[in-house]
Amino acid sequence: MRKAASALDYRELARRRLPRFLFEYIDGGSYGEVTLRRNVTDLEAIALRQRVLCDVSTIELSTSLFGQEIPLPIALGPIGLGGMMARRGEIQAARAAGAAGIPFCLSTVSACSIDEVAKATDKPFWFQLYMIRDRRFMADLIAQAKAAGCTALFFTVDMPLPGSRYRDLRSGLAGAPGFRGNLRRTLQALARPGWAYDVGLRGRPHQLGNVAPVLGKNSGLEDFLGWMRNNFDPRCTWADLDFIRSLWDGPLIIKGILDSEDARAAVSVGADGIVVSNHGGRQLDGVPSTASALPAIADAVGGRLTVLADGGVRSGLDVVRLMALGAQGVMLGRAWIYALAGGGEAGVAHILRLFEAEMRIAMALTGCTSVGDINPDMLVK
């Protein structure tokens, strides 16, 4: 970890530390992973205008998102099973984010429950929600989020059904039920003794915290995967936002927007924000990258709600690129989960420092002294 200088360095540390089925889970995408690659390559292809002889002696990175003043326009996005990458991993990540003053968003399908994270941290966090067939279960999750002091609700809409991820089938995470699947995963875990001891033994219980009450005692990974397949609600429409609004009176952000028409619909239902996202290339393969979809979406909403973005972000430079394309903030995904797997809480804290330093350099060399100065004029046409 002392030699890690980037998110890609932490990716390699994560690959060395995690059992194969967990690394492939966080690293992979759906089908042939075309969109996953586009997210990265389309961002890399964006050229910034380098400017000189500008006074950049003072650079201000702070901003405000949903009423919260934050020192960086960055948040840690929700990642399912995140707590399996390090011992009680969501708690470690939430603590690192809290110490840095940036938001952490807890997934519905996290290893640590809402209550566990709230008790282990001293800073409020965000909560991410899926549309579940069992509306009573959803209502209970929202009530728990409110009781824990969560300050924003992120409603993920691009997962009416789980995407088909070939890597999960090949690694044994999915598609190998019963004794055979358990044996494959156990052998992979034993091949990573550090993870097996720290997470496999010391990190118990391994039940998914928020879903555990509906799965029952002694449930395992296969029970959870089966629950996901059977309980996401493909009947969900825009009208279902009324149900969520009836239970949640704080900021409501719709995550998974990739089309301008859907962005305008989010405005019409009164959403406070959207996340331009293709689920990290993990749902429908072959769709546009976030970077290519973002400008038209930002134009379509015209400042009527807050626009965040995720997908393909591997550096602070990528954060500046997405903001120049129209985002007001960026949610990190793989970057922070690689760092968590490779270095725990200290790794997440370190990657945030790296991103801040990279943003400062990118802004200085493009003549920007505040995040408000980041705009499309920075881009090479």
More confident residue, 211 or 370: 370
Q: What is the pTM of this model?
A: 0.95
CA torsion, points 371, 76, 379, 370, in degrees to nearest 10?
10
pLDDT of residue 98: 97
Kindly state the average pLDDT of the residues 134-158.
Answer: 96
Beta bridge partners of 316: none
Distance CA 368, CA 363 (A): 5
Query: Read out DSSP for 327-357?
Result: -SEEEE-HHHHHHHHHHHHHHHHHHHHHHHH
pLDDT of residue 233: 87
pLDDT of residue 10: 98
Kindly state the average pLDDT of the residues 22-40.
Answer: 97
Q: Strand, helix or coil at 40?
A: helix
| pLDDT tens per residue, range 71-129 | 999 999 999 999 999 999 999 999 999 999 999 999 999 999 999 999 999 999 999 99
Pair 138, 132: CB distance under 8 Å: yes
Residue 1: pLDDT band with limits 50, 70, 90: low
| pLDDT tens per residue, range 319-351 | 999 999 999 999 999 999 999 999 999 999 999
Pair 110, 137: CB distance under 8 Å: no
Kindly state the average pLDDT of the residues 139-167.
Answer: 95
The domain limits of the chain are 7-378
* Catalytic residue of the set 17, 279, 321, 350: 279
pLDDT of residue 176: 67
Distance CA 272, CA 160 (A): 22
| pLDDT tens per residue, range 185-233 | 999 999 999 999 999 889 877 777 888 888 766 666 677 777 777 788 8
Say whether pLDDT at 26 is over 80.
yes
Residue 125 has which token pair? 């966090």
pLDDT of residue 227: 76
Distance CA 338, CA 205 (A): 22
- Known active-site residue 279: yes
Q: Which CATH superfamily is domain 7-378 in?
A: Aldolase class I (3.20.20.70)
Share of the chain above pLDDT 90, in %: 83
Say whether pLDDT at 175 is over 90.
no
**Residue 230: alpha-carbon gap to chain centroid:** 23
Residue 212 has which token pair? 């555990």
| pLDDT tens per residue, range 245-289 | 999 999 999 999 999 999 999 999 999 999 999 999 999 999 999
More confident residue, 178 or 188: 188
Of the candidate ranges 13-22, 27-36, 145-154, 228-237, the one whose mean pLDDT is the lowest:
228-237
CA torsion, points 310, 311, 316, 320, in degrees to nearest 10?
-60
Say whether pLDDT at 2 is over 80.
no
Residue 163 has which token pair? 């995407």
Share of the chain above pLDDT 70, in %: 97
Beta strands, E only, the chain: 63-65, 68-70, 74-76, 105-106, 126-130, 153-156, 252-257, 273-276, 306-309, 329-332
**Distant-in-sequence, close-in-space partners of 322: CB < 8 Å, separation ≥ 6:** 43, 290, 291, 294, 309, 313, 330
